[in-house]
Amino acid sequence: MKWALVTFITAATVVLVALAWLQSGGLQQHAMFSAATPEAAVRALMTQVQSHNFDQAYAALDPSSNTDLSSFVQDVAGSNSSLRTYSSLQSVDVSPLHADNDHAVVRLRMTWSSAVGSLDDVRDVNVKRDGSVWRVVWPKPAFQAVPPQVVSVNYLRWEVIGRNTSQAWGAQDVDSPKVRITSMNAISRPGRVVILGEVENEDTIPAYLNVNATLLKADGSPIDEEGSFDLISHVLLPKQVSPYRIDFPGVRLDSVKSVRMDARALLVPASADPVIAATNQAVSKDGLNRNVLKGELVNQSGRPVNIAQVLAAYYDDQGKVIWVSDGYVDQALMPQVPVPFAVDIPDDIAARLKNYRVLVNHYSRSSS
Amino acid sequence: MSLLAVCAFSTWGFAGEIHAPANVQAGHAFSIPLEGSGQATFYLIGPDHVVKRSVNLGSDLQIEARDVRAAGHYQMILCDASCTSTNFEVKAASGAHLSFFLHPSRVPVSTPNSIDATAFVFDRFFNLVLTPTVVDFQITPATGTGFSRQNSTRDGVTWLRLDSTPHEGRVQVTAGLNGGAGNNAAGNVEEARVIQQVAAEACALRMKVEQSGNTVTLETDPVRDCSGNALPDGTIVSFTKVDQAGRSTVDTPIKKGVARTQFSVTGSARISIACGVVLGNEVALNGRSGGKS
C-alpha cells in the first residue's frame, strides 16, 4: 500500500511535467531543433510564427540568413498597421520542390486569416542542412525605405453642411449625388448566380455608394436580395467608375426571370487624396499555377495607406464585363514605394478575357 | 320634488337649433345666436383641438379667432337636457407663407426640363390654401438676363419645369406671392432657392505627352464640357498606359483645371485617357526617347 502511493505520486508528477512541457511549446521547440527533414524545419518555423514566438523562430533560422530580427518580424507579422498586422496565421502547406543532401527548396503556402477573409502568401524557401538538423534560410526582405522628405499635399477635399433639421419644410437642401449603373450582366457560376457590372458617379461631388440587386421570379416575386458588400469601391469621386459584383449563393440562373437593381448614393465628405497607381499589370500564373492578374501599387501621395484593396473588372472582346474579382494587399503602401498585388482570375474567365481595368480601394488609419 | 325640477330647468334651459355661418375663414372670429333660455354646455370639435364652454342661452355665442385657426371640418354641439349639433367648414385664409422646393440642387448645363420648381401656398396659420393663388417665379442666372413666370395654384400647389442654361454657376429662383390679382396676401412673400448649374460630361478630352528618358509626363488640356465650362477640380481622369512591362492605370483628380500624371515607359507604348464614360485621345510612343506618333 505504501509503495503504491509512492508510485502513484511519482507517475502523476511525471505526467504533469510532461503536460507543462507540451503546453510551453516544448514539442515544437524539440521539433525545430531536431528538424530531420526540410519540410519539418519549415513547419516548425511556421509553428513558432503562428505562436508569435518570433525570437525563437529567428533563432532557429540558418546563420546564412542575412536578415535581422526586426526585418524578419516585419516580414512575417507586418508593420505600419497593414492588413498583416491584423491577421493571424491560420494554416501552412509545405511541399518539396527540390532536395539534395545539404540543400532543399520548399514551397511554403501560408494562409492568413483576417477580418476581410483569408489571404495566401506563397514563397519558395531555401532550407540548409546544419549537422543533423535542417534550418530555413530566410532572406532579408527588400523593404524600400522612403527617404526623409516633405511631400506637399494639396488635393481637393469635400465637406458637407447638411440642412438644419429645425428649418421649415421645403427649406434649401443639398441633393444626394447622382450615380448611374452603366452596365449589368447576370451570369451563372457553380452553385450561384452572379450579377456584375459597372457604376459611375455622374455628379460633381463624391458619393458613398451601395449597389443592391433583387432576383425576381416570373411572377414578379423576389427570390433573393443581396448587396455588393466589399466588391465595389464605395466612395466614388466625380466621374469615377467602379466595378461591382453581387453573389447569390444557392440560386440557379434559369429560375431568374428579371433583376431589379438599386444604386443608392449618399453625400459624404471625401478627399481626392491619395492617388494610387496600379502599374505593370499583367495576367500570368502564380506559384500554385492559378491565373492571376499581377502588378504593383504605387501610392503617389505623401500619406501612408494602411490597407489597400484591388478591384479588377474583366471584359470580353465586346467590352462586356464578364467577371469582377478583388484582392487585399497585406502590406501598407508607403509613399512612392511599389507594393506587389495579385488577384485571382477563374480559368474560364482568363480564357475569354480581352481587357481588364483595375481600381484601388484604400483605408488610412489617420484618415477622416 | 317639483321644486327640484324647477331649479333644474332654471339652471339647464331649453336650447333650440344652432346655426353655423356658411363661410368661415381661418383665424376670423364670429358669433352665432343661441336660442332658448338658461345655461348649456357648448363643445367645438375641430381638426386640431376641442373647446368646452358653459354658455347662456338667448345670447350670442362668440367664437374666438384662436379657436378656428386650423382649416377643415368642425362640429359644434350644444347640450342642455338634450344635445343639438351642426357642422361647418373653416377655409384657409389668404396666402401668407410659401413652401418652395427647387430640385435638384445641382444640374448639368444645357439639360432640358431638368429643373423642377414647386411651390405650396399656406395661410398665416400654415393651412394649405386651396383657392387659386398666383405665384411669381423669378429666375436669375449668374450670367445673362433673368426672366419671370406667373403660375396659378391648383389645390394649393403650382410648379414649373425649366431647362438649365449653357453656363455653369448659381441660378437663383424666387417664388413670391405679390398680393396682386387673385391674391389677398397682405404683403410680399418671397422664398429664394439656389441651384448650382455644373459642367456636363467632358468634351474633346485631350492630353499631351512629354517624354524624358523612360519617364513620360501626361497632362490634359483644360478639361471642359461641350459648352466650354471647366469640369470642377476633383473630377477623376483615368490614364492607361500599355507597354512591354504591362498595363498601368491611375485615376487622377483634376487640379487647377487639368489632370496630370507620370509613367515609366518600357519600349513602345500606347497611352489612353478617359473621364467617366468619355474617351479622349490615344497617344502612341515609338520607344525612342521623346518619340511619339
Asked if residue A274 has a cis previous peptide bond (ω within 30° of 0), the answer is yes
Distances (CA, A) of B27 to A87, B21, B42: 70, 14, 19
- B207-285: CATH number: 2.60.40.1930
Measured distance CA(A171)–CA(A164) in Å, rounded: 9
How close A98 comes to chain B (CA, Å)?
Answer: 30
Q: What is the DSSP letter of B11?
A: H
ipTM: 0.82
Q: Determine the pLDDT at residue B8.
A: 39
Q: What are φ and ψ of residue A159, in 5° steps?
A: -115, 155
Amino acid at the residue A22 = L
- For every one of its 368 residues, what pLDDT tens digit does chain A have, with 9 covering 90 and above? 677 888 888 888 888 887 776 666 555 555 555 678 899 999 999 999 999 999 999 998 998 988 899 999 999 999 989 999 999 999 999 999 988 989 999 999 999 999 888 998 989 999 999 888 899 999 888 887 778 888 887 878 999 887 777 767 777 788 899 999 999 999 999 999 999 999 999 999 999 999 999 999 999 999 999 999 899 999 999 999 999 999 999 999 999 999 999 999 999 999 998 999 999 999 999 877 899 999 999 999 888 899 999 999 999 999 999 999 999 999 999 998 999 999 999 999 999 999 999 999 999 886 54
Measured distance CA(A90)–CA(A115) in Å, rounded: 13
Q: What are φ and ψ of residue A28, in 5° steps?
A: -65, -40
Is-contact A334 A302, C-beta < 8 A? no
Residues 6+ apart with CB under 8 A from A366: A303
Q: Touching check for A241 and chain B: CB below 8 Å?
A: yes
What is the domain partition of chain B in residue ranges? 2-91, 95-198, 207-285
The answer to whether domain B2-91 and domain B207-285 are alike in fold is yes
- B95-198: CATH number: 2.60.40.1930
How close B196 comes to chain A (CA, Å)?
Answer: 10
User: Could B250 and A277 be called an inter-chain contact, meaning their C-beta atoms sit closer than 8 Å?
Assistant: yes
How close A207 comes to chain B (CA, Å)?
Answer: 12
Q: What is the DSSP letter of A300?
A: -
Is-contact B90 B70, C-beta < 8 A? yes
Is-contact B269 B285, C-beta < 8 A? yes
Helix (H) or strand (E) holding A20: helix A2-23
* Cβ neighbours of B246 in A, within 8 Å: 279-282, 295
Of A95, A74, A92, nearest in space to A141 by CA: A74
Q: Touching check for A357 and chain B: CB below 8 Å?
A: yes
Tell me the residues of chain A between 86 and 115 that have a Cβ less than 8 Å away from chain B.
Answer: none
Q: Domain B2-91 classified CATH 2.60.120.1030?
A: no
* Cβ neighbours of B251 in A, within 8 Å: 237, 240, 275, 359
* Cβ neighbours of B106 in A, within 8 Å: 174-175, 203-205
Measured distance CA(A247)–CA(A258) in Å, rounded: 15
Q: What is the mean pLDDT of chain A?
A: 89
Q: Is A368 helix (H, G, I), strand (E, B) or coil?
A: coil
pLDDT above 90 (res B121): yes
User: Could B236 and A275 be called an inter-chain contact, meaning their C-beta atoms sit closer than 8 Å?
Assistant: no
Measured distance CA(A258)–CA(A149) in Å, rounded: 56
List B240's β-bridge partners, or say none.
B249, B272
Asked if residue B104 has a cis previous peptide bond (ω within 30° of 0), the answer is yes
Find the CB nearest B194 among A154, A172, A178.
Answer: A172
How close A231 comes to chain B (CA, Å)?
Answer: 18
User: Could B101 and A280 be called an inter-chain contact, meaning their C-beta atoms sit closer than 8 Å?
Assistant: no
